[in-house]
Structure 1
Amino acid sequence: MRQFFSGVTRREAQFTAVGVGLALVVCMPLLAKADPGMIRGNGPADPGAEKALDVQRGDSCRELLPDDTPTHVVCRWLTPPQDAAEVAAFWAADDGANLEAAEPLSPTAASTVRPSRSATTSSISSPVPTASPVESMPPDADPSPSTAERPSTEAIKAARAAGLRVWVESDLADDYLAGSTRFRASVDALAETARQPGVIGVKFADNLAYSGFTSSDDVETFVQQTTAALRQAVPGKRLAIGVVVPELGCGAATACVTAMRAKAPLVTKKLVEGYIQAAAVEQVYVSNGLFASAYRQHRLRDPKTGAQQPITPAVATRAQWLNIKALGWDTLAQVSSREYGLAHGGSTAPWDEAQATAQLDTRIGTVIGLGVPTVTLWGHHAVDGGRTYRLFDADLANNPMWSQLIRQKLRERLSVVFDPRSTEVGIRQDIAALGKVAGEIFIVV
């Protein structure tokens, strides 16, 4: 940089600094009005509790990031518009002396602390009630290979006919904890299904370590052994895991972070990063849309008014994905969202057009707008706690949410989870209907 600036005259430096300042003052507020990647009509899911960012004032999102966020992470502005003139004046002062004296920043150590491989905890009980899909975790029960084989084969064929990218998935954690014999048989059965034509990948864990495991070492051993076995059994297939990290939705609310870590001590962000590294899979799906009532018990400061506001689903979603960007997990694998909050109980959806728009803006628009490549929708005729959850209405009838998804034409950004043993009408009919919105399907085996 010294060589570069030695060739720049003092007058050229002044013109450059003033030009940059004018660009920041005049152009950036205009550019900030466009928010590419968001679903049309994006707005808060809870208008009474949340307000849109004031782009003219350069609102920050620092209140959504915890204290240990790396300093290189910026939320919206390199320089807020109201500060741009002051920045330009600094560089132009004294005939550009500050600009001529500028040097590169000195290297700094990485600020992300790696998890200890010896971290352990006592046995964990599942603390989440089963009242609704946004509060509970999906069931882990897996059918025997002989029960799953025929429906899975039919579903794979139907998905290929509908032009869907096909994954197969099963949560092998319980099989691993049950012992080597059952684990080996389950891996072999999953691999056999994955060898069918058209299958591109295998997802072998969901909400990893939220329950069942008693130590982080055991979780890492599980993902390492499973990845190695599947690499050998189905070479060339993409591998994936699903994780849940409750504290990520807390933002900078330290009391919320503490409570979430106590609720699920084996899925803190540091430990989950260790699992992702140990697994060495191609894709990681982070659960979204859970713990809504737990988040609402905590407050974040509104950056404009200073008032305390509840952590609504919209706030939690944005905080989670800003935190994931800050953690840099996309350098370890492709990181996508698995959304649980759009499924409804009963025969018909509870939302009108406006409410459906708010839900989609919060749970899909915000996530895609923050650079997440895909969103997977859970809840197509999914039975949990004795209750059936749906994305459609009963018998594949459209509702305001599903109709909007069709109109938005986000097919290549959306995936769905499908259990061939639990359908609205039938395997082929259900998959054909799902294929109008999604370009990818995860078939539960």
Structure 2
Amino acid sequence: MRLRPLIVTGLALSLLGIGVPAWSADDPRSCNDLMSSDTPAYVVCRWMATPEEAADIARFWLENDGQNMKDAGPGREVGVDCSEAENACDPNLEGDGEMHDVGDPDVDGAEDGGTPECQDGQKCFVDPDAVTRQQAAEAEKTPTGQGAKTAQTSGLRVWIDAELADEFKSGTLADAVKKVAALAVQPGVVGIRFTSQIGYNGVLTTAEEMDKFVAETSAALRKAAPGKKIAVHTVVPVLGCGAEEACKTEITKKYPLLDPDKIGAWLTGGLVDQLALDDGHMATEYATWKIDAAEAQRNQWIQVRARAWDAYAQISAEDAVFTAPGASQLNAEQATQTITDRVAVPLQSDAAESVTLWTRWQDPAKGTVNRVLGEKLADNATWEQLRKLSAVKARLATIYDPATPEVDMAADLKKLSEVFGQVYVRTP
């Protein structure tokens, strides 16, 4: 018996009053009748195997003193006797020709399990092509490295947040990738976001340049930090137009580089594992066509779902809507409504799997610090409402800059872990 994954979102967002249709009670594999009468509609139960099927499965494996289970075990070892004339054995093959137990070292001086030991000054097994043990140790001492370590200790899933477009333009991408990879091999780091607002921030000026940057940077990072997720952030304003043709025409002219087909190709081509879409433009971008922020967001997620982007990569919504100069000024009712619009809608649209919320950023032009919390991490109504989303905590992420702490790294990240399950630790 299992509960559909939708329960995770439904439980957390029940306070918002947004319902999710249940499966039909006529479903022959439904076990909804086993749940109490006050179970919310979005909680759905289905048998993976009915009780009768489970009994048949158990009988199959247990009958005849478990003979079927014994027969399903590993087969006999397959070996080749090189002393027999009919067997041709290459004398240059590696190995000593002897059988060894699982876990025995496979090279002289290897650690248990066959992993060559990392010596100081030598390239480490974590990344034999780009990151040495010494480089990783040096990266750990940097503010970003310490931020990643502290975040992991605080129970947060860690991403390294870098901007490599300038290095790509200047021809120094290889060195920048090595530095980012050295941070990414730290314990607890799951991925790297290597650019934000691509196609919108003006650094890259042609579609060809964007494609080349994404392809080369993705390939370099996958080689330098194997196994780490690769992510990008951008905005695709035309998606908010929905079916309004005049809107699509004008928005495409205004943002020619932000072509959804071009961006979608990065996903279908396997270049990125996560795409974050910014929601910040939705409040004002579509006023000419009488499309408000709620409708624009609905249009965006319908378009994302229709393009099946989530079949190729994780889709994330990103927003700074809760921040304000000094601290969030929302009362409890306003905060709850904003959570409904900017957190619940993306998650329940079945298009975005996570939501990234900015909690603190500086505006140099105005000389202000924009926050959700008050100064020195003071609680407020907005934070109290966000803290209620504990059941979807794993789906919530934030950005943290270790170079500009509010109190100190440990206190800041511990506070953020009250609401968020993931954090993007920024690099200089």
Q: Which bracket does the TM-score occupy, shorter chain normalised?
A: 0.5 to 0.7
User: Is 2:406 the partner of 1:421?
Assistant: no
User: Is 2:188 the partner of 1:188?
Assistant: no
State the Cα distance separating 1:383 from its structure 2 match.
3.6
- Which residue does the alignment assign to 2:370? 389
Q: Is the 8 A contact 2:279 2:297 kept in 1?
A: yes
State the Cα distance separating 1:440 from its structure 2 match.
0.6
State the Cα distance separating 1:384 from its structure 2 match.
5.4
Distance 1:396 1:381 in 2: 14
Q: Which has the higher contact order (CA 8 A, sep 6+)?
A: 1
Aligned positions, number: 298
- Which residue does the alignment assign to 2:14? 40
State the Cα distance separating 1:439 from its structure 2 match.
0.5
- Which residue does the alignment assign to 1:285? 276
Secondary structure of 1:417 counterpart: strand
State the Cα distance separating 1:417 from its structure 2 match.
0.7
- Which residue does the alignment assign to 2:166? 174
State the Cα distance separating 1:415 from its structure 2 match.
0.6
Distance 1:225 1:244 in 2: 21
Q: Is the 8 A contact 2:139 2:183 kept in 1?
A: no
State the Cα distance separating 1:353 from its structure 2 match.
1.3
* Residue in structure 2 matching 1:337, options 302, 317, 320: 317
- Which residue does the alignment assign to 2:223? 232
- Which residue does the alignment assign to 2:295? 315
State the Cα distance separating 1:312 from its structure 2 match.
2.1
Q: What whole-Å deviation, never above 9, does each CA across 1:134-159 have from its counterpart, x for those lacking one?
A: xxxxxxxxxxxx99962112211211
Q: Is the 8 A contact 1:38 1:369 kept in 2?
A: no
- Which residue does the alignment assign to 2:327? 348
Secondary structure of 2:284 counterpart: helix
User: Is 2:377 the partner of 1:377?
Assistant: no
Within-5 A mapping of 1:125-274 = 150-178=142-170, 180=171, 182-210=172-200, 211-274=202-265
* Residue in structure 1 matching 2:336, options 339, 342, 357: 357
- Which residue does the alignment assign to 2:306? 326
Q: What whole-Å deviation, never above 9, does each CA across 1:228-267 have from its counterpart, x for those lacking one?
A: 1111111111111112101111222222222221221100
State the Cα distance separating 1:176 from its structure 2 match.
0.8
Shift in alpha-carbon separation, 1:216–1:148, aligned structure 2, 3 A: farther
Shift in alpha-carbon separation, 1:401–1:274, aligned structure 2, 3 A: same
Distance 1:190 1:237 in 2: 11
Secondary structure of 1:314 counterpart: helix
Secondary structure of 1:290 counterpart: helix
- Structure 1 unaligned segments of length 5 or more: list them: 1-34, 44-51, 56-145, 300-310
Q: Is the 8 A contact 1:392 1:402 kept in 2?
A: yes
Q: Is the 8 A contact 2:160 2:191 kept in 1?
A: yes
- Which residue does the alignment assign to 1:16? none
Shift in alpha-carbon separation, 1:361–1:282, aligned structure 2, 3 A: same
Q: Is the 8 A contact 1:411 1:437 kept in 2?
A: yes
Q: Is the 8 A contact 1:246 1:268 kept in 2?
A: no
State the Cα distance separating 1:202 from its structure 2 match.
0.8
- Structure 2 unaligned segments of length 5 or more: list them: 1-8, 22-137
Distance 1:235 1:366 in 2: 34
- Which residue does the alignment assign to 1:367? 346
TM-score (norm 1): 0.63
Higher Cα radius of gyration: 2
TM-score (norm 2): 0.65
State the Cα distance separating 1:168 from its structure 2 match.
0.4
Distance 1:149 1:215 in 2: 37
Distance 1:212 1:275 in 2: 18
Give the letter for the 2:189 counterpart. V
Q: Percent identity?
A: 31
Secondary structure of 1:242 counterpart: strand
Give the letter for the 1:165 counterpart. R
Secondary structure of 1:318 counterpart: helix
Q: Is the 8 A contact 2:276 2:316 kept in 1?
A: yes
Secondary structure of 1:267 counterpart: coil
Q: What whole-Å deviation, never above 9, does each CA across 1:60-118 have from its counterpart, x for those lacking one?
A: xxxxxxxxxxxxxxxxxxxxxxxxxxxxxxxxxxxxxxxxxxxxxxxxxxxxxxxxxxx
- Which residue does the alignment assign to 1:88? none
RMSD across aligned positions (CA): 2.4
Give the letter for the 1:399 counterpart. N
- Greater displacement, 209-218 / 381-390: 381-390
Shift in alpha-carbon separation, 1:391–1:279, aligned structure 2, 3 A: farther
Give the letter for the 2:422 counterpart. E
Distance 1:163 1:147 in 2: 21
Shift in alpha-carbon separation, 1:253–1:414, aligned structure 2, 3 A: same
Give the letter for the 1:190 counterpart. V
User: Is 2:382 the partner of 1:401?
Assistant: yes
Q: Is the 8 A contact 2:191 2:230 kept in 1?
A: yes
State the Cα distance separating 1:195 from its structure 2 match.
1.5
- Which residue does the alignment assign to 2:93? none
Give the letter for the 2:423 counterpart. I
